[in-house]
Structure 1
């Protein structure tokens, strides 16, 4: 009997290890695509891919997190193209996936609060003058929470640099100051270690890009 129990236990361990490996392989493949996506359609496809992984791995928070991030990137592409029509809908999708990520045991996760900040910023851009006191304020609150939870996080420094760089000078922004903040963010990226190979590690290339543009 002990022999059979041991064999059964080994089979279960093997199946668990295989499932983890399949999950990690799928996530690694999709995370790598974040760098190569260019269009809003690309990011939508990637969000759908993360959604499918999340439906299989209901105890994992990262698939929902990356689905939310893919939607944010989709919204940013549309914003750069001057297409503000769907930003509210996109931000709603981001919040839905971030709620799912929190429900997977991530109530006090700086990465999630940072994406909530970015989602509120997307909503604000639909009509900045009307929404600055509402969605803009929510974005600021979420950024403060994220920074309090993880002050060394380079992505927080990156988003603060973005805000400074793109805000008009009459409203307190500065491209010069923004570049200095991108440099500070890059220093943090150079020393920051993600908790695992699948944990958020995006943003360094963006900091490098803005710094390189300033030297041209």
Structure 2
């Protein structure tokens, strides 16, 4: 009995400190990101992922940081390095958490970064994939504000590209803001971004 208690105590202690290290590491990574140190933050998330191999979140954030950095990047070599890294980590995240709408949105964003860099080259091959990802994400999570907003943002970009009116999609942005107001992430570290971008987008729609 005594030995069992010792084993259980050691087990709970290990779990506690392991979780504590994860929490501290994630907090540090988000802090670096908030300070504008994106490379350092991505490196921290990557280090966490080597320990938290069954947790999709650190992989997701490595992909997100590299994708965000790619928008506006003019050097194709740098862009490819960043987006290849993003895709590598998205693939792992998808393997850990299949049919995850948050990961689908991230995958769509990574494809969009390629399209934004060279629409003539990548638009034909990736636009359909982006639209399909958003359609599936919306089917799986119709109340997720990032899904609704990101899909609306994509639809607006497509409409602008073809010289069409973006107004029909403003209602979707407005709906996403209602969802953002009531959204509660599963944990402190689960995705919770997008409300500020939705606000800015709605202003451009002349709705607010």
Scaled by the length of structure 1, the TM-score of the pair is 0.83
Is 2:18 the partner of 1:58? no
For 1:101, the equivalent position in structure 2 comes to 93
- CA gap of 1:147–1:172, structure 2 versus 1, over 3 A, is farther
Is 2:113 the partner of 1:122? yes
- CA gap of 1:190–1:144, structure 2 versus 1, over 3 A, is same
Is 2:130 the partner of 1:135? no
8 Å Cα contact 1:164-1:172 kept in structure 2: no
- Which is worse superposed, 149-158 or 179-188? 179-188
SS in 2 for 1:125: helix
SS in 1 for 2:60: helix
8 Å Cα contact 1:64-1:97 kept in structure 2: yes
RMSD: 2.4
* Cα displacement (A) at 1:63: 0.6
Which runs of no fewer than 5 residues in structure 1 stay unpaired?
none
* Cα displacement (A) at 1:142: 1.7
Q: State the alpha-carbon separation in 2 of the partners of residues 84 and 210 from structure 1.
A: 28
8 Å Cα contact 2:32-2:38 kept in structure 1: no
Q: State the alpha-carbon separation in 2 of the partners of residues 109 and 71 from structure 1.
A: 19
Q: State the alpha-carbon separation in 2 of the partners of residues 84 and 178 from structure 1.
A: 32
Q: State the alpha-carbon separation in 2 of the partners of residues 169 and 60 from structure 1.
A: 38
- CA gap of 1:36–1:167, structure 2 versus 1, over 3 A, is farther
8 Å Cα contact 1:43-1:73 kept in structure 2: no
- Which is worse superposed, 165-174 or 2-11? 165-174
* Cα displacement (A) at 1:36: 4.7
* Cα displacement (A) at 1:109: 0.7
Q: State the alpha-carbon separation in 2 of the partners of residues 203 and 170 from structure 1.
A: 23
Which runs of no fewer than 5 residues in structure 2 stay unpaired?
none
For 1:151, the equivalent position in structure 2 comes to 142
For 2:6, the equivalent position in structure 1 comes to 7
8 Å Cα contact 2:104-2:137 kept in structure 1: yes
Q: State the alpha-carbon separation in 2 of the partners of residues 179 and 207 from structure 1.
A: 10
Q: State the alpha-carbon separation in 1 of the partners of residues 85 and 128 from structure 2.
A: 20
Is 2:176 the partner of 1:185? yes
* Cα displacement (A) at 1:212: 4.4
8 Å Cα contact 2:29-2:42 kept in structure 1: no
* Cα displacement (A) at 1:102: 2.3
- CA gap of 1:165–1:35, structure 2 versus 1, over 3 A, is farther
For 1:48, the equivalent position in structure 2 comes to 43
SS in 2 for 1:199: coil
